[in-house]
Amino acid sequence: MRFDFKDKIKFTRAVFYSFRPIPLPKPFKDGTGGMGKFAPERGCMELYDQEGGCAHLSVGPAFAADILPMILTGETKSYNDWRETLYWRVRNAGFQSEKAVEVGQLDLMMLDLLAQRAAKPLHRFLGAEKDWAAAYKGGGSLLLEDDELVADMTRYVTEGYRTVKFKVGSGDGTDMERDIRRLKKVREAVGPSVGVAVDANQRWNVEEAYRFAQMAAPYNLEWLEEPIHSNDFNGIRRLKEMGVPVPIAFGESMRISYMYEIYLEKGVDHVQPSIGRMTRIDDLLIIRDLAREHQAVFSSGGRIYLNAIFGCLYGEDERIEFHEPITVPVGEYTLYKPEERDGRIICSQEIPGIAPRMDVEKLEKDGLMESRQVFYAPKA
């Protein structure tokens, strides 16, 4: 499925809000360094078109530097033409580059504008027949004590989630005994009917990953996420040939659908694109369809409030990730959040376009706003 919209767009002005990092209640750490003390969001953009529509998205200052000079030109082009033109203009930076991701961010903002024109929420504009996305919930920082980890995972279950996920890779990957001890405690606490997944964030080499998977096998992992380097395609093949005893998942580090074809050819059981890293937004649905074709599991990650929009286009067993330690602090500064209910995320049926957006007034009130820059297209 490829998006094919002929609607004409002329970008007239943009406003970029730069803000200080949003602090996390607790520092967060994964197997290869992780998030630290702050959420990743550092700015947001309002982008206006010739009809007065305003798209809103969290972006960084590089978007203003890289993308705005290419679109605030006074030109009128179709959605397709803007997307194709910019996609190939960033070609030499590479389609895994941040510049390519910025083109994907513009793609999202154009979809927001088109859905607003149609007076439909984006998921309905794109053809969704339901207003909810199935979700699993993750977190589980390596900095948590065992009892804190178990408390979080069991709370997720009481909230209605049927799969929970936490981090492994303790001791810079050397303390697998700690990881397995924590896995055992979580499994015993949530019971046999709840899915338990773990994420190594590319911590190990092939032999180490295989050893961990063998140790984890008695605890019925739903999946082991990114146990080795995300680009080690032949390492993935080796793991499968060795008979790795748990399903393996990859995908959040890739930004274009072609890479998922390789993952599936190498034997990945579960593919996981991330909404915040796509160079073309319809690649999410292409990857979904590839997974269906290969009878693999599909889920998507990224900012939950955007992710939920596309999750409405997935099947009941195709889920989105709710990463609580990052989502909740950012959610304190997000307007029109979708509703969390019994393992589902419910999107608005009332607000056209992309409803969730950063609350710039609250950011300013709380002393996090740094600056506001306005950019204009040249007058005719």
List pLDDT tens digits, range 347-360. 999 999 999 999 99
Question: In which domain, by residue range, is 88 found?
Answer: 8-27+40-120+357-376
CA dist 294 → 269, 287, 301 (Å): 9, 11, 20
304 within some domain: yes
Sign of the CA dihedral running 265, 268, 271, 272: negative
Same domain, yes or no: 238 and 303 = yes
pLDDT beyond 70 at 174: yes
Pairing label, strands 36-38, 297-300 = unpaired
2 within some domain: no
Q: What is the pLDDT of residue 221?
A: 98
- Both tokens of 263, joined, read 């993952």
Greater model confidence, 137 or 36: 137
Q: How many domains does the chain have?
A: 2
CA dist 48 → 30, 168, 226, 312, 377 (Å): 38, 43, 39, 26, 10
C-alpha to C-alpha distance for 109 and 103, rounded to whole angstroms: 10
pLDDT digits (tens, 9 = 90+) for 247-283: 999 999 999 999 999 999 999 999 999 998 999 999 9
* Of 376, 358, 366, nearest in space to 55 by CA: 358
C-alpha to C-alpha distance for 187 and 183, rounded to whole angstroms: 6
| Buried/exposed 226-258: b ≥16 CB within 10 Å, e otherwise | bbbbbebbebbbbbeeeebebbbbbbbbbbbbe
Same domain, yes or no: 151 and 298 = yes
Average pLDDT for residues 216-231, to the nearest whole number?
Answer: 98
pLDDT beyond 80 at 34: no
Contact 55, 359 (CB under 8 A): no
Same domain, yes or no: 176 and 303 = yes
Same domain, yes or no: 181 and 236 = yes
Residue-averaged pLDDT of the chain: 96
35 within some domain: no
Same domain, yes or no: 137 and 280 = yes
- H/E segment holding residue 210: helix 206-216
C-alpha to C-alpha distance for 367 and 286, rounded to whole angstroms: 41
Q: Which amino acid is at 167?
A: K
Name the pTM for this structure.
0.96
34 within some domain: no
C-alpha to C-alpha distance for 367 and 364, rounded to whole angstroms: 5
Contact 226, 201 (CB under 8 A): yes
Same domain, yes or no: 255 and 147 = yes
pLDDT beyond 80 at 35: no
Q: Please state the length of the chain.
A: 380
Alpha carbons within 13 A on the beta-carbon side of 363: 26
- Report helix, strand and coil shares of the chain as percent, to nearest 5: 40, 25, 40
Same domain, yes or no: 175 and 108 = no
Same domain, yes or no: 72 and 172 = no
Confidence of residue 1 (pLDDT cuts 50, 70, 90): low
Q: What is the pLDDT of residue 295?
A: 98
Average pLDDT for residues 151-167, to the nearest whole number?
Answer: 98
CB neighbourhood size of 294 (10 A) = 18
CA 255 to chain centre: 11
Q: What is the pLDDT of residue 33?
A: 81
Same domain, yes or no: 78 and 17 = yes
Q: Which amino acid is at 162?
A: R
Same domain, yes or no: 150 and 17 = no
C-alpha to C-alpha distance for 29 and 173, rounded to whole angstroms: 13
DSSP E strands in 253-368: the ranges are 270-271, 297-300, 319-323, 334-335, 339-341, 344-346, 357-358
Same domain, yes or no: 148 and 297 = yes
DSSP state of 329: H
pLDDT beyond 70 at 157: yes
83 within some domain: yes
Same domain, yes or no: 215 and 341 = yes
Average pLDDT for residues 120-148, to the nearest whole number?
Answer: 97
